[in-house]
């Protein structure tokens, strides 16, 4: 499904159609008359603030690697994490993460099992934090639950992975217990189970450590806080005051929709969801669409540029360079995980 949705002949028309739907419903061409002059200062500040995310991604990854006994400097991880996050959004099968695992092994001696464990935590646990915290804050912003209850719920999320692993709740066991042997092939499914078990042991060591989990939660919250600040600043540029709690809830839920859609950068699906959620908060369609497009401009585009620049920097280190090197690196990772990790 991911490979099919990421094909340009499929995702470009789908994303374009969704974006056209946002523009058409919002009457965005009249935004100049309705919203007045756009202040460039908050927009520029939103772009600058977004750079903190690149650093937070690297800090988060460095702390997890250190916890697994594989220390790598933050500066060395900045281009790797920026590159991986961009390429993941453009290609099926998390190709960017496979290349990141290869580079970590080739240049920092990080074994593939450890690399895979760190990346799974960064992707799966982080999305879980985002979705659940956004849902709680959205309920608080809409008056469904009291603010203090939402705050307690968000605080409790921090220790969720720690408690789960301390209780022996292992996601890999749930996956490998699924009766998929006939579909995937019994030997292949058994091999997958062994790979997941090795990776899960490393994950358990990281998420079973309270300080490590707290640090991961703090850096992940920092990423979400910066993204929320960007949306608030976009609103400020348009002369709109947006409550940070409501912004976190709406943005987090819209990003989750984009992740589930499997479209590159959630393009179209995430924007449509954000416009709908902002509309539910009482903003008129024109204002909601303007904020959604403004956020796309100051967030997604700079991160994509950073990813491309990181690829240019890292490509010389890949075997044979270019697309062939990428494919070779991905094959090396999958082959190694298939054997011993």
288-336 pLDDT, tens digit per residue, is 888 988 888 888 878 878 887 887 777 665 544 444 455 555 566 665 5
Q: Which of 115-124, 179-188, 308-317 has the lowest mean pLDDT?
A: 179-188
* Cβ(104)–Cβ(329) below 8 Å: no
SS3 content of the chain, % helix, strand, coil (to 5): 85, 0, 15
How far is Cα 199 from Cα 120, in angstroms, rounded to an integer?
A: 9
**Structure-token pair, residue 149:** 């209850």
Q: What is the pLDDT of residue 204?
A: 85
Residue 27 lies in a domain: no
User: How many other CB atoms are there within 10 angstroms of residue 24's CB atom?
Assistant: 12
* Cβ(295)–Cβ(84) below 8 Å: no
**Structure-token pair, residue 135:** 């849902």
**Structure-token pair, residue 123:** 């992707």
Q: What is the pLDDT of residue 4?
A: 44
- Give the mean pLDDT of the chain: 78
Residue 71 lies in a domain: yes
Taken as a whole, the chain contains a residue count of 341
Residue 8 lies in a domain: no
Q: How far apart are the first and last CA of the chain?
A: 27
| Residue 42 CB contacts under 8 Å (≥ 6 apart), including other chains | 233, 234, 236, 237
Give how many domains the chain has, as a whole number: 1
Percent of the chain topping pLDDT 70: 70
Q: Please write the tens of the pLDDT for every residue from 38-83.
A: 888 998 999 999 999 999 999 999 999 999 989 999 999 998 888 8
pTM for the full predicted model: 0.80
How far is Cα 176 from Cα 186, in angstroms, rounded to an integer?
A: 11
Backbone φ, ψ for residue 89 (5° rounding): -75, -15
Q: What is the pLDDT of residue 11?
A: 45
Residue 26 lies in a domain: no
How far is Cα 220 from Cα 67, in angstroms, rounded to an integer?
A: 16
Residue 17 lies in a domain: no
Residue 253 lies in a domain: yes
How far is Cα 148 from Cα 54, in angstroms, rounded to an integer?
A: 31
pLDDT grade for 259, boundaries at 50, 70 and 90: confident
Compare 109 and 222 and report the one with higher pLDDT.
222
Q: What is the pLDDT of residue 190?
A: 60
Domain of 268?
41-339
Tell me 39's DSSP state: P
Residue 280 lies in a domain: yes
């Amino acid at each position: 499904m991911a490979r099919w949705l990421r094909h340009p002949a499929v995702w470009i028309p789908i994303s374009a159609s969704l974006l056209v739907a946002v523009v058409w419903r919002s009457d965005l061409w009249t935004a100049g008359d309705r919203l007045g002059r756009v202040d460039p200062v908050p927009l520029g500040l939103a772009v600058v603030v977004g750079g903190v995310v690149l650093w937070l991604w690297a800090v988060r990854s460095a702390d997890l690697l250190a916890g697994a006994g594989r220390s790598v400097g933050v500066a060395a991880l900045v281009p790797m994490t920026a590159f991986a996050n961009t390429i993941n959004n453009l290609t099926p099968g998390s190709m960017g993460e496979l290349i990141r695992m290869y580079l970590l092994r080739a240049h920092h001696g990080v074994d593939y099992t450890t690399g895979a464990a760190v990346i799974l935590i960064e992707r799966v646990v982080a999305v879980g934090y985002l979705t659940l915290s956004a849902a709680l804050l959205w309920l608080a912003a809409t008056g469904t639950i009291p603010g203090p209850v939402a705050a307690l719920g968000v605080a409790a999320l921090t220790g969720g992975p720690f408690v789960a692993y301390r209780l022996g709740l292992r996601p890999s066991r749930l996956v490998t217990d699924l009766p998929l042997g006939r579909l995937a092939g019994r030997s292949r499914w058994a091999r997958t189970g062994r790979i997941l078990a090795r990776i899960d042991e490393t994950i358990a060591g990281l998420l079973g450590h309270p300080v490590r989990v707290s640090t991961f939660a703090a850096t992940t919250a920092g990423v979400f806080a910066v993204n929320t600040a960007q949306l608030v600043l976009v609103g400020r540029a348009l002369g709109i005051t947006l409550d940070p709690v409501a912004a976190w809830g709406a943005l987090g839920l819209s990003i989750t929709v984009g992740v589930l859609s499997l479209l590159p950068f959630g393009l179209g699906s995430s924007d449509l969801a954000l416009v709908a959620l902002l509309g539910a908060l009482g903003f008129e369609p024109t204002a909601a669409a303007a904020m959604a497009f403004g956020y796309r401009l100051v967030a997604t585009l700079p991160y994509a540029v950073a990813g491309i620049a990181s690829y240019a920097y890292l490509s010389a280190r890949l075997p044979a360079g270019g697309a062939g090197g990428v494919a070779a690196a991905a094959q090396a990772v999958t082959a190694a995980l298939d054997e011993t990790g």
